[in-house]
Amino acid sequence: CHLIHYLRLSHHLIVLNYLICTFDKLKSVSSEDIKITDAVFDGVEVRVFEPPAKGDESLKRSVVYIHGGGWALASARTSLYNNLCRIMAESLNAVVVSVEYRLVPEVCFPEQFHDALRATKHFLQPDVLAEYSVDPSRIAISGDSAGGNLAAAVCQQLSKEEDLPIRPKLQALIYPVLQAFDFNTPSYQQNMNMPVLPRYVMVNYWIDYINGNYELAHELLVNNHTALNVGRALSFRARLNWTSLLPPSFKKSYKPVVQSTGTAAIVERLPALLDVRAVPLLADDTTLARQPRTYVLTCENDVLRDDGAMYAARLERAGVPVTLDHFHDCFHGCMIFTVWPTDFSAGVQTRNSYIKWLDENL
C-alpha cells in the first residue's frame, strides 16, 4: 500500500489498513484442493482459483470477484481475499476470478471501473470460459464495499451492451458503496462515528476516487453538492429518496438533510459525483430492469447500510428478483475477517450466508 495515502487517513482506519495491507501478498501457491494461478485478462491482472475436475461433470459455475478497500487499499493477493476466494472455490466447486484492479493514488475514476469491466468482459468470452471449463450460463459477478460498487457498475454496463453473447446470471453485492449523493441517509447519521468506516473517512475515499480536493469534504458532508439549487442533481433526487425506499426499521426517527442553497460548482468540477459508473444507485429504471437476480448483504453498524437497501428496493421495484440479507449485529468489512488474528464470528456468519445464497442460486 502507499505510505502517502496512509498519511491522509484518520486514526480510526489505521488498524483496518494494517490488517488488510501489511499481510504479505501471497504467491500463487496451489493447494491440493484448489489450483491458484495469476493471469492477465485484457491487460488487467487477475488471480484464478480452480477446484479439481470431477469425473461426473464437464463444466463448472464461476464467480468474478472484485475486492474492497475504498478503491485504494487491499489486493486480490493479500491473505484475507486469497482465503475468501479459495473458500468460495471449494464450497461452490466454482472457478473464482479475483480482479486485481489498479488503485488510488496510481489511478482514479474511471480507471478502476475500466479495469474491472475489461477483465470481466475478457473472461466472458466463449473461448476463455472454455479454457477454464466454465458453464457460460452460470456466472456471477460479486464484490464487497468498493468492490461491490465496481461489481454493480460493471453489471449495469454489461446489460447495456447488446452484442454481448454471454451475460452474468447473478450479481452479489456485499455492503456495497453505491452513492455519493446523500451523506446523511439514516445509516450515515446513525453510524457517522462508527469504527472501521466513519462517515468522514468514506467521504475522503470518495474524494480520492474521483480525484477531488479534501477542502470539499465539509461541503459533501452537509449535502451542499446536491442542494435544491444544483440543477444537475435535481433529476436524480427521486432515485435515492430514502424516505420512500427504506423500511421504517432503517429510517427510525432520522430526518432528510436537504439544503435549499448549496454549491453547484462542486458537481461541475467533479462530474463523477453524478456519473452512474461511479454511482450505480443513480441508474435509471430501464437499466435496473435489465439487471440479473441480485443478492445484497448489509450490516446495521455500517454507514453504507442504506446504499445497499435502497439499491435492493429500486431493483425490486424494477422487477428484478432480489434478496436483501441484513445482519443486525455486524459491521462494515466483517466478511473478510475470518482468519487469525481477526477471526470474527461476524465474518463467518456473513460469509456462510453469502456462499449459501450463491450455492442455491448459481
Give the residue numbers marked as catalytic. 145, 302, 332
Whether the Cβ atoms of residue 176 and residue 296 lie closer than 8 Å to each other: yes
**Assigned C-alpha cell, 160:** 447495456
From 193, 110, 97, select the one nearest 149 (Cα to Cα).
Answer: 110
Radius of gyration of the chain (CA): 19
- Return the C-alpha cell found at 214: 479534501
| CA angle (298 as vertex; 294, 303 as ends), nearest 5 | 130
- Name the nearest CA neighbour of 173 among 311, 17, 21, 313: 311
Q: What is the C-alpha separation between 335 and 339, in angstroms, rounded?
A: 10
Instruction: For residue 109, give the C-alpha cell.
Output: 475514476
**If DSSP codes are grouped into helix, strand and coil, which group holds residue 171?**
strand
Measured at the alpha carbon of residue 191, what is the angle toward residues 349 and 113, in degrees to the nearest 5? 75
Q: Helical H runs in 276-344?
A: 285-289, 305-317
CA distances 349 to 260, 327, 332, Å, are: 43, 9, 13
Cα–Cα nearest to 64, from 176, 133, 148: 148
- Quote the CA–CA distance of 330 and 334 in Å, as a whole number: 7
